[in-house]
Amino acid sequence: MLGEVSHSSPPRLAAAKASGILQILTPGEAIAHFCNPREKALVEHFTMMMPPGLPAKRFLAYAGTFAGQVLPAFQ
């Protein structure tokens, strides 16, 4: 029903991957992914979400890769 709030538990990592909500890209794929929309509109900010079920240490490693290898392409 419209406006109804779901109180189900958050999807686990595997379910997020399978549903397409979570995309896992190489640094090169991520640069290409963000360049396409950038041609239409300037990307001013980006937010990363730690998927439910992903250990914080793994997320920090991925965020570090993104910061070190993807973000420099947009400076």
Which helix (H) or strand (E) is 69 found in, with range? none
> What are the extents of the domains in the chain?
27-74
**Quick one: pLDDT at residue 43?**
62
Q: Give residue-wise pLDDT tens across range 17-71.
A: 788 777 888 888 888 887 766 556 666 777 788 888 889 999 999 999 999 998 8
- What are the two backbone dihedrals, phi and then psi, of residue 74, each rounded to the nearest 5 degrees? -110, 10
